[in-house]
Amino acid sequence: MTPLARLADLALPPRCPGCGEITGEDHRFCVRCWGSLRFLGPPWCALCHAPFDYDRGEGAACGECLADPPLLSGVRAAVAYGEVARSVALKLKYSGRLACAETMARAMARLMPEDADLLVPVPLHRWRIWGRGFNQAALIAGALSKSSKVPADMELLRRMKATPVLRGLGYKGRAKAVAGAFALAADAAARLAGKTVVLIDDVHTSGATANACTRTLRRGGAAKVSLLCWARVLGDEALD
């Protein structure tokens, strides 16, 4: 380390993204926060990638997917939504802790689909961007693109309608709220044709927003759309 780097490290030491405790390196969680995170991955449903308690065999699907196959080709999430995962997401969105996007991307990178052609962040409406100053999904997508070398297109998918807060609306209410909210850039057909697209977001709840984005991308020519996110709300909490 250079003398200037040593001085900066003493003045601003690396801190846990979850609780703020001093750690050895940037983007590293303290032992307590790390231990409380539930990292997701196989075994999981072959269709929606909801985690299974045990390996049910290749191609096994959950009951919900068998009854109603999902639009998305899987939802891959680094961790289950919980206290620490929520803290990191809120620090990025509302406290301007932009480094949290890199923290999320590092955890998400291990689940990047091998056939990914293009990363597309879930867009925010321009009013939300004006108020917040950034789109957290775009920051995460940029960090993932840099590490994975999969290109990211930040302008391909656009949110044309300002939608209300979806929490508490229930599945039908959420689907209605985001209906018609998304559109593609004018030259999207050439950029999308036959591509395997990975939607990028911070938190996945009921899937209403991701499904609306998927419909728009598939209509525009995408061959396949999956979702990669930081945290996934599991169980009945997804519809709260």
Residue pLDDT, tens place only, 34-65: 999 999 999 999 999 999 999 999 999 999 99
- Same-domain check for residues 43 and 157: yes
Residues 6+ apart with CB under 8 A from 55: 42, 43
- Same-domain check for residues 123 and 221: yes
Instruction: Choose between 1 and 159: higher pLDDT.
Output: 159
DSSP annotation of 205 reads S
* Cα-Cα end-to-end distance for the chain: 48
CA dihedral 35, 135, 200, 235 (to 10 degrees): 50
> Residue 11: pLDDT band by 50, 70, 90 thresholds?
low
Domain count, the chain: 2
- Same-domain check for residues 113 and 166: yes
Per-residue pLDDT, averaged over 192-214, amounts to 94
The answer to whether residues 136 and 103 touch, using CB atoms and an 8 Å cutoff, is no
- Same-domain check for residues 230 and 206: yes
Name the average pLDDT for the chain. Answer: 90
- Same-domain check for residues 157 and 174: yes
- Same-domain check for residues 12 and 130: no
pLDDT of residue 165: 65
Residue pLDDT, tens place only, 148-191: 999 999 999 999 877 766 665 666 667 677 778 899 999 999 99
Q: Could you list the residue range(s) of the whole structural domain that residue 28 is in?
A: 1-36
- Same-domain check for residues 168 and 213: yes
**pLDDT surpasses 80 at 128:** yes
Residue 144 belongs to domain with CATH number = 3.40.50.2020
Could you count the other beta carbons within 10 Å of the beta carbon of residue 90?
Answer: 14
Q: For residue 100, count CB atoms less than 10 angstroms from its CB and return exposed for 0-12, middle for 13-18, buried for 19 or more.
A: buried
> Residue 71: pLDDT band by 50, 70, 90 thresholds?
very high
> Residue 141: pLDDT band by 50, 70, 90 thresholds?
very high
- Same-domain check for residues 31 and 72: no
**pLDDT surpasses 50 at 7:** no
Q: In angstroms, rounded to a whole number, what is the distance separating the alpha carbons of residues 104 and 140? A: 7
For the whole model, what pTM was predicted? Answer: 0.90
- Same-domain check for residues 13 and 76: no
- Same-domain check for residues 124 and 31: no
Per-residue pLDDT, averaged over 76-98, amounts to 96
- Same-domain check for residues 11 and 48: no
- Same-domain check for residues 13 and 107: no
**pLDDT surpasses 60 at 4:** no
